[in-house]
Structure 1
Amino acid sequence: MSSGVTVNPDSVAQFQDLKLKKKHKYIIFGLNEDKTEIIVLKSSTSKDYEEFLVDLPENQCRWAVYDLEFLKEEGGLRNKIIFYHWSPEGAKIKDKMVAASSREALRRALVGIAVEIQGTEDSEVALETVLEKAKRGN
């Protein structure tokens, strides 16, 4: 099901900057005021994962991409782009429905995602949980 929500071209451009030019560490996406377009709400160069988590509100849905850097078991650094669908328990039902039905439009527009995380509570987006999923995909 599609909600008819479109992805703002700037959202894709900023994602390309994260993926190809490493200009951002993470990007937070949300809906514009009239809920017709997915826009960038924030981009950051902070490498502090806790700071990223603070940008996921406890009562509003968001999507995000995070350029995760981690050590491979055999040594060496690896990067994977993680896509988050954040739909917390405290969000309004209608917002959750619009976010769920709009997710695919954003996901299709962002080419190069390695891992997807569906989060409804903090433990599902905790660094340990995300690292485990990212490493499993190696």
Structure 2
Amino acid sequence: MANSASGMAVHDDCKLKFLELKAKRAYRYIIFKIEENQKQVIVEKLEGNVPKSRIFFIAWSPDNSRVRSKMIYASSKDRFKRELDGIQVELQATDPTEMGLDVFKSRAN
């Protein structure tokens, strides 16, 4: 299991679904979630059968989150990213305007 220095553990399903996205382009997106009670990152939601060309990693951490949640998120994010080889573009967002369509388009090129 993970500790506070290394972040949350990453559930095997996260890696499996990401490999399906990367190799087979099976999903339009995957939403991963930190499940604090289980002390691990899990797959929360999938949407499939949509063509895509770039793999974005969006780190969403709103400014109004609890300090403890922000600390867990920060320590887990880097560990989680290392598990997902193939991310092409990374965005850090604290507000919805930081991940609008115009931002995606500008970063996709």
* TM-score category, normalised to shorter length: 0.7 to 0.9
- Match for residue 66 of structure 2? 92
Matched, 1:28 2:31: yes
Structure 2 Cα separation of the partners of residues 40 and 94 of structure 1: 21
Question: Where in structure 1 are there 5+ consecutive unaligned residues?
Answer: 48-66, 70-78
1:36-51 matches, cutoff 5 A: 36-45=39-48
| Per-residue Cα deviation, 1:1-20 (whole angstroms, up to 9, x for no partner) | 83441111100000011111
What is the CA distance between 1:127 and its match in structure 2? 1.2
Letter in 2 for 1:112: G
Secondary structure at 2:74's aligned position in 1? helix
CA RMSD after TM alignment:
1.9
The aligned length equals 106
Structure 2 Cα separation of the partners of residues 84 and 90 of structure 1: 17
What is the CA distance between 1:92 and its match in structure 2? 1.4
Structure 1 Cα separation of the partners of residues 23 and 11 of structure 2: 19
Structure 2 Cα separation of the partners of residues 98 and 33 of structure 1: 9
Structure 2 Cα separation of the partners of residues 21 and 39 of structure 1: 20
What is the aligned counterpart of 1:107 among 69, 78, 81? 81
Identical-residue share of aligned pairs (%): 35
What is the CA distance between 1:91 and its match in structure 2? 1.6
